[in-house]
Amino acid sequence: MGFEGIGASVRRKEDARFLSGRGHYTDDINRPGQLYAFIKRSDRPHARIASLQTAQAAAAPGVVAVFTGQDMAADNVGGLPCGWQIHNKDGSPMAEPPHPVIAIGKVRHVGDPVAVVIAESRQAAKDAAELLEIEYDDLPAVATTLDALEPGAPTVHDDVAGNVCYDWHIGDKGTVDAAFARAAKVVKLELTNNRLVPNAMEPRAALGDFDTSSGDFTLYTTSQNPHVIRLLMGAFVLHIPENKLRVVAPDVGGGFGSKIYHYAEEAIVTWAAGKLRRPVKWTAERNESFMSDAHGRDHVSTAEMALDADGTFLALRVATIANMGAYLSTFAPCVPTYLYATLLAGVYKTPAIYAEVKAVFTNTVPVDAYRGAGRPEATYLLERLVDVIAHDTGMDRVEIRRKNFIPADAFPYQTPVALQYDSGNYEMTLKAALDAADFAGFEARRAAARAKGKLRGIGISTYLEACGIAPSAVVGSLGARAGLYEVANVKVHPTGSITVYTGTHSHGQGHETTFAQLISDQMGVPIDQIEVVHGDTSKIPFGMGTYGSRSLAVGGSAMVKAMDKIIAKGKKIAAHLMEAAVEDIEFDKGTFKVAGTDKSKTLTDISLAAYVPHNYPIEELEPGLDETAFYDPKNFTFPGGCHVCELEIDQETGVVEMVNFVAVDDVGRVINPMIVEGQVQGGVAQGIGQALLENAIYDSNGQLLSGSFMDYTMPRANDLVNISVGTEITLCTHNPLGVKGCGEVGAIGSPPAVMNAVIDALKEYGIRHIDMPATGAKLWEILQANRPKMAAE
Amino acid sequence: MPQVSLTVNGKQHTVEVEGRTLLVELLREKLGLTGTHVGCDTSQCGACVVHVDGLAVKSCTMLALQADGMAVTTIEGIAAADGTLHPMQEMFREHHALQCGFCTPGMVMTAIDLVNAHPDGLTDKEIREGLEGNLCRCTGYHNIVKAIAAAHPLMHGQAPKAAE
């Protein structure tokens, strides 16, 4: 057995089953007597349901039931709740219109559920749905972020005037305005952050089951956080107490945020299983994923930086309009506020920042957190703005960053937008990335490419993010309707093997390996004797799930806390067995020793004594070696780094070819370097996808035009390039592992690096800014419309 | 209902199916071989790739009845009888070429066919082009390309390249 502890690139424990076809995803689960649900969805962006006739569908072969929104409302089913409340500038709460599980009266986006058909087979349900007779009275629709605020725009919700969900702000406007008044120069940039469809490869699925004997409900679902689903669905939607509701999230095929939220289908199948006394399964077809999974991003922003004469940032002013879609998804309101505007200091010591954010309703799919959630939007805005400042002032883009970096000796650093960074070293990651990318040698490569008719560019981004969410009291004061601690239960079994139950969830992150390494490192037990269990509310005490790169920083810290309790108890048992004082017992990697002697006991000796307590301090100590810990983080963690992108644009076609991508990230202590590299590469691929390919496009009527893999460009192998990943670390100072998080850095740092490279490639055309995605078609038009400045001069 | 007779992973099956039943539905729902996945409805993602008479096929794009008399191999059928992983499976594990595992069965089946079809070797670019019918949202493909390159010599009887 090689080294398996912290820092080893251990091959993943979970891979054997995934590689052999033995993964266990929600749609792989079948229950006896199972029925199939098909959701009839609105094909109208905005309409009144004039009539809905279900009789023909209900009479179709194999159909067991057809339910509508009215049926569920009549059974006291509640609407889908929102988990975060934002307050307006004037202190009043945000508009929070109802979100029925199945539409009642009106549909508000293409994909809004209108009815559910439940039948003996998938095909029978789908066939019968064709027989539903639905008459709509179409209403004018609001299709885009900017349209929502147009005077006289149609209203998505009758009682939400002007479609404004909230009008929020952060920072000191007076100080910022004063700094702008005395600035030597102001640089302004208007930009959009394109709307994305997360597209985890596993479509969402849900299977509701009802035990007629016990009256217990079980929901199997594609979720990143089964306890959160149990809480939201049980308490707010179906009114089932926790003790009668089990939620299982088995193997889940990717999430990227889209599987955090409580979705209508989960409530529909659970409720229907109870009504029909039979299991009910629903599995999304990909077209349903496009029109029912929460989308990501979709901001329109204006950013202005006030500068002094030598390029020092004096103040930043940002105004953003954020699209919420037709309804508030579970965590939607916090994304463009506390996960976005609080990040606008970035890696820079900008002394004054003011941001205002208007969130608007539109007749589109709800928008919520997608990999990075708010932080990619902040990073893209800042890092494009910094390059535009360099463009407008003629200053060097690397030097202007260096000049404004928060220096390595300034931590802890309090930003003007609430966050306090605990650690970081932005010069270190910048230098490492520039060296790895041979930034200094770039101009020669540009010239060589030019000779071949290719426009070569290089772009950098120096970024920071906040993850490991988050201190419960802090997020509570900011509007969260939940605590954001994490839970671990560590069971040392009688013969010394260990099972760890974690409230986090793995859907690609490799927790079964990373957490086993963490336990192995501390407890001295080989990882093949450590089982990591997640995703089942009947096994795990509690948990808040996996998102915001929190699993190791928060969930891993809970494990450390639980192991500390195990070790403390083990020392008492060891002291008894070896007739020594507890204070004299030392624990190191599986062995309890009496200090200064050769007396020792193994973890197995202790666990056996704990479960077979014949010779045991039974008066003072309970038997067993099984401890649970809740860990509430003290602060966010702050990974950061530098990404460098090099690419070529074909001057004839506008097509972009990636040449090189280098990411150097500070993710804090690394448990498994192989897994960290994989996480960063995957995140970068999604960031490159956003920058060059992906775009969720609605037409002016509210129809989703890019609603399938035929129309929405997912990055394929040949669109990408090898992604070189390095780490240069500073330790997180406030969690016991010194870890920060690596799941989102790739998607946060990369889009501006790519776009800065695109614009650098077009240097001779004098292009100042292009909105994402920089598709071949868009670049071809730009190349046609602009003549090279050098040639013209 | 019409019948289809086919061999799946070496085992003979005769199954009643509707005319419209897809091969992937037969595999997942009738034979319980849930290793083959469905990730889309437009034949774009490749999560459902299996081998039909030795060639990679998107099983969502073939009717079950069209497989009559044919030999189908799925992800469940490529390891040796004693459980030893196929070199492609082993290299996917060695090079961390999978994360959530959902695209993995289709990716591995495509990769095996790709390597079989190119006995003389594959450049990274050829591997990337060869994966045009398979989507992965987790890995950024970097490690998938590495794994396939590493599996090539193993599958063609050459000495394994040392893993990094």
Going by pLDDT thresholds of 50, 70 and 90, the confidence category of residue A1 is low
Query: Among candidates A545, A590, A602, A563, which has minimal Cα distance to A4?
Result: A590
Shortest alpha-carbon distance between residue A480 and chain B (Å): 29
Cβ pair A720:B137 closer than 8 A: no
pLDDT digits (tens, 9 = 90+) for A724-743: 999 999 999 999 999 999 99
Please state, rounded to an integer, the average pLDDT across all residues of chain A: 97
At residue A63, what is the residue type?
A: V
Give the 3-state secondary structure percentages of chain A, helix then strand then coil, rounded to 5: 30, 25, 45
Sequence length of chain B is 164
pLDDT of res. A788: 77
From residue B128, alpha-carbon distances to A460, A650, A721, B124 in Å are 26, 20, 9, 6
pLDDT of res. B36: 98
pLDDT digits (tens, 9 = 90+) for A501-558: 999 999 999 999 999 999 999 999 999 999 999 999 999 999 999 999 999 999 999 9
From residue A80, alpha-carbon distances to A42, A207, A291, A359 in Å are 18, 18, 17, 19
User: What's the CA gap between A416 and A170, in Å, rounded?
Assistant: 9
Domains of chain A: 16-139+201-254+259-292 (3.90.1170.50), 299-469+635-792 (3.30.365.10), 485-631 (3.30.365.10)
DSSP string, A298-320: -EEEEEEEEE-TTS-EEEEEEEE
Q: Which three-class secondary structure string do you get for A227-247?
A: HHHHHHHHHHHCCCCHHHEEE
| Chain B residues touching residue A34 (CB < 8 angstroms) | none
Q: Which residue of B has its CA nearest to A124?
A: B18
Tokens 């087979």 — which residue?
A121
pLDDT digits (tens, 9 = 90+) for A157-186: 999 999 999 999 999 999 999 999 999 999
- The answer for A 667-706 residues in CB contact with B (under 8 A) is 674-675, 677-679, 681-686
pLDDT surpasses 90 at B162: no
Given CA atoms A252, A253, A256, A257 in this order, what sign does their dihedral have? negative
At residue A49, what is the residue type?
A: I
- The answer for A 498-527 residues in CB contact with B (under 8 A) is 507-510
Q: Which residue of B has its CA nearest to A20?
A: B76
Cβ pair B108:A720 closer than 8 A: no
A771 token code pair: 């909105």
Compute the average pLDDT of residues A209-226: 98
Which percentage of chain A shows pLDDT scores above 70? 99
Q: Quick count: other Cβ atoms within 10 Å of Cβ A122?
A: 18
What is the Cα gyration radius of chain B? 16
Going by pLDDT thresholds of 50, 70 and 90, the confidence category of residue B157 is confident
Cβ pair B40:A12 closer than 8 A: no
Q: Does A61 touch chain B (CB under 8 A)?
A: no
pLDDT of res. A786: 87
pLDDT of res. A290: 98
Given CA atoms A734, A737, A743, A748 in this order, what sign does their dihedral have? positive
| Chain B residues touching residue A744 (CB < 8 angstroms) | none
Going by pLDDT thresholds of 50, 70 and 90, the confidence category of residue B30 is very high
Tokens 């060059």 — which residue?
A692
Q: Does A18 touch chain B (CB under 8 A)?
A: yes
Compute the average pLDDT of residues B33-41: 98
Tokens 């689960």 — which residue?
A29
Contact indicator for A33, A279 with CB cutoff of 8 Å: yes
Tokens 């998107």 — which residue?
B58
| Chain A residues touching residue B37 (CB < 8 angstroms) | 25, 201-202, 253
pLDDT surpasses 60 at B23: yes
Query: Among candidates A280, A271, A277, which has minimal Cα distance to A205?
Result: A280
For B87-155, CATH number out of 1.10.3860.10, 1.10.150.120, 3.30.160.250, 2.60.40.420 equals 1.10.150.120
Tokens 């954001």 — which residue?
A484
At residue B53, what is the residue type?
A: D
pLDDT surpasses 50 at B163: no
pLDDT digits (tens, 9 = 90+) for A113-128: 999 999 999 999 999 9
ipTM for this model: 0.97
Q: Which of B102, B127, B132 to mutate to test the interface with A (most CBs of A within 10 A)?
A: B102
Shortest alpha-carbon distance between residue B1 and chain A (Å): 15
Q: Which three-class secondary structure string do you get for A533-544?
A: ECCECCCCCCCC
pLDDT surpasses 80 at A407: yes
CATH fold, domain B3-76, is: Ubiquitin-like (UB roll) (3.10.20)
From residue A201, alpha-carbon distances to B37, B50, B120 in Å are 10, 17, 32
pLDDT of res. A644: 98
Contact indicator for A253, A221 with CB cutoff of 8 Å: no
pLDDT surpasses 70 at A440: yes
Cβ pair A710:B129 closer than 8 A: no
Q: Quick count: other Cβ atoms within 10 Å of Cβ B153?
A: 15
pLDDT of res. A793: 44
DSSP string, A527-573: GGGEEEE-SBTTTSS----S-TT-IIIIIIHHHHHHHHHHHHHHHHH
Please tell me whether residue A149 adopts helix, strand or coil conformation.
helix
B15 token code pair: 């199954």
pLDDT digits (tens, 9 = 90+) for A582-624: 999 999 989 999 999 999 999 999 999 999 999 999 999 999 9
B110 token code pair: 């495509």
Nearest Cβ partner for B42 among A20, A203, A709 = A709
Cβ pair A717:B76 closer than 8 A: no
A497 token code pair: 């093997």
Strands (E), A238-291: 245-248, 280-283
User: What's the CA gap between B73 and A306, in Å, rounded?
Assistant: 64
Every domain of chain B and the residues it spans: 3-76, 87-155
pLDDT digits (tens, 9 = 90+) for A630-689: 999 999 999 999 999 999 999 999 999 999 999 999 999 999 999 999 999 999 999 999
Interface size between A and B, measured as CB pairs under 8 A: 175
Cβ pair A286:B99 closer than 8 A: no
pLDDT digits (tens, 9 = 90+) for A292-321: 999 999 999 999 999 999 999 999 999 999
Q: Does A257 touch chain B (CB under 8 A)?
A: no
Going by pLDDT thresholds of 50, 70 and 90, the confidence category of residue A790 is low
Which percentage of chain A shows pLDDT scores above 90? 98
| Chain B residues touching residue A18 (CB < 8 angstroms) | 98, 101, 104
